[in-house]
Chains A and B, each alone.
Chain A
Amino acid sequence: AQTVTQSQPEMSVQEAETVTLSCTYDTSESNYYLFWYKQPPSRQMILVIRQEAYKQQNATENRFSVNFQKAAKSFSLKISDSQLGDTAMYFCAFMIGNEKLTFGTGTRLTIIP
């Protein structure tokens, strides 16, 4: 069975600073997909970034980037120039094929004005 671990239950950072959220996973599969989702208090899960395991290049979406280390089974999210609107729960998730997403327990991120 696949597992996803987020070891930081809560984090806070000053506005405009950079923050990195950690995620590790465990699988015996070689081809899979990794995601970071954001869940603000409104509850709607919003995709932040997506990474295909067979691609060595780290995904980037504007201020969001990942550090994907396949051998270490690590998938961290870096948020640059953090904004107040980045305050939310962040979930790391793993998927094989088109099956279910397996989520971690989340990191609550607070951006301090």
Chain B
Amino acid sequence: EAGVVQSPRYKIIEKKQPVAFWCNPISGHNTLYWYLQNLGQGPELLIRYENEEAVDDSQLPKDRFSAERLKGVDSTLKIQPAELGDSAVYLCASSQQGAPGDTQYFGPGTRLTVL
């Protein structure tokens, strides 16, 4: 069974440029999460989807960040414009049915560097 797929693995951009990250969850997983991991810290949730609906986006900085999961499968996270402080690892995770305590499976992440 394929795991959570993310691309790209690395991205270097100039500040004020846009950037997008893509995630394909494990087949059949209805719940998808985007986390932000700063250096030396644990991941923090940006947004959670149940199928195509964003059910928790309270931590997503909506002035510059946006996300979509149009068909309830893969998802894209976008930053426009990027700032120096956005340099971090962006992790995608999925869980099967979103039931209480469901294990979240993580992708390898995208390391973003903003110059």
Contact = CB atoms under 8 A, between A and B. Distances in A.
Interface residues of A, number: 25
A45 B89 CA distance: 12
Interface in B30-50: 31, 33, 35, 40-45, 48
Contact of A103 (B31, B44, B95): B44
B100 interface: yes
Contact of B111 (A33, A43, A97): A43
Contact of A101 (B40, B45, B98, B109): B45
Interface string A31-71: 10101010000111111001010000000000000000000
A62 to B, nearest CB: 17
A91 B109 contact: no
A44 B101 contact: no
A95 interface: yes
B108 A44 contact: yes
Interface residues of B, number: 28
B42 A103 contact: yes
B111 to A, nearest CB: 7
Nearest to B103: A47
A33 B100 contact: yes
Contacts of B43: 45, 91, 101, 103
Q: Which 8 A-B pairs have the closest CB atoms?
A: A103-B42, A100-B45, A45-B106, A33-B101, A98-B98, A97-B100, A44-B108, A43-B109
Interface of B: 31, 33, 35, 40-45, 48, 56, 89, 91, 93, 95, 98-109, 111
